[in-house]
Amino acid sequence: MAKKCIHDLEEAWCADCTGRPTAINNRIAWAGDVMMVIPADPAPPVPLDEISIRSRMSRAKVNAAIAYLRETYPDLPLVSNSRGIRFTMNEEEVNKFRHSRFLAAHTIIRRTFRGAVVPYLKQSGASKATVRQFTRQMDRLLEDIDEFV
């Protein structure tokens, strides 16, 4: 019998026990390297390609590192725009960036739900009552989010 992990799965089949810790450790290391090359005020933003060159990491690793930083440290004053990315203590700039990200996230949630989740539920054989209930709950959530916009 195969050895079981803490999730009561075969150890080799559990992504949390085998692959994920390494991936998280990689992102932590990448984030540390990327933080060292992201400029701060008063320096201008630096494009991600430049961050990639300075950190000697691929663009994918840089993106993963930045995503890790934003998810793990949401209060970090890390802002980005079409010109690049940087740290800033300018509260107005941070708030503008966060509002922009909020609007983008709201749009992604709405489009994903209406364009992918609902069609999938309908084709998967979910009952009409289930689809209707799920749609109603999601519409309420989107309305609540709309109040902040």
Q: pLDDT category, 148, cuts 50, 70, 90?
A: confident
38 φ/ψ sector (left φ>0, alpha ψ -120 to 50, else beta): beta
Which architecture does CATH list for 11-86?
A: Orthogonal Bundle (1.10)
The answer to whether the CB of 85 falls within 8 A of the CB of 45 is yes
Range(s) within the chain of domains with CATH label 1.10.10.10: 11-86
146 versus 84: the higher-pLDDT residue is 84
pLDDT tens digits along 6-17: 777 777 666 666
- CA gap 81, 38 in Å, rounded: 14
Q: pLDDT category, 88, cuts 50, 70, 90?
A: very high
- Decide if pLDDT at 59 tops 80: yes
- Decide if pLDDT at 23 tops 90: no
pLDDT of residue 56: 95
Considering the entire predicted model, what is its pTM?
A: 0.70
